Amino acid sequence: MKDQKVIRFSVSLEPSLLEALDTRFIKQGYASRSELVRDLIRQKLVQEQWEDEKSIQNGVLVIVYDHHQRELNQKIIDIQHQAKGVEILCTTHVHIDSHNCLETIIVRGVSHKIAQFELELSGLRGVKFSKLTRTTTFENTY
């Protein structure tokens, strides 16, 4: 990150909202209120970027599935190979226990294609959990 000038501004909150902020967020790992506010702003910016259907986005899809489900492994692989408009950058496969596997799939593409890819995988019989974590390139260094 380039050296950037920091601008201070104030925020007015009701005492109960400030207490909730301090109790739920600051005490759970944020170094300061400023760090929390910066993180919340970045999250909102990522959300906005994903609404632009023309720009390239990045994400991580996590799925947990029953590897005993007939032909599920092959279906997961086929969907990844046949994905149109989604580039599979990396996958990681972990054996959670004797029945369940966790797979992370790092993807790049336009948002609606990634969403379609997520739905195809999450809708497979035997997939127990699916979550897409959205991110962006942060080209504007925010």
pLDDT category, 40, cuts 50, 70, 90?
confident
Structure tokens, 26: 């600051």
**pLDDT (tens digit, 9 = 90+) per residue, 61-115?**
999 999 999 999 999 999 999 999 999 999 999 999 999 999 999 999 999 999 9
The per-residue pLDDT for 140 is 62
Contacts of 98 (CB under 8 A, 6+ apart): none
Q: Are 57 and 133 in contact (CB under 8 A)?
A: no
Percent of the chain with pLDDT over 90: 59
Query: What does pTM read for this prediction?
Result: 0.79
Give me the amino acid identity at 29: G
SS3 string, 37-64, reads HHHHHHHHHHHHHHHCCCCEEEEEEEEE
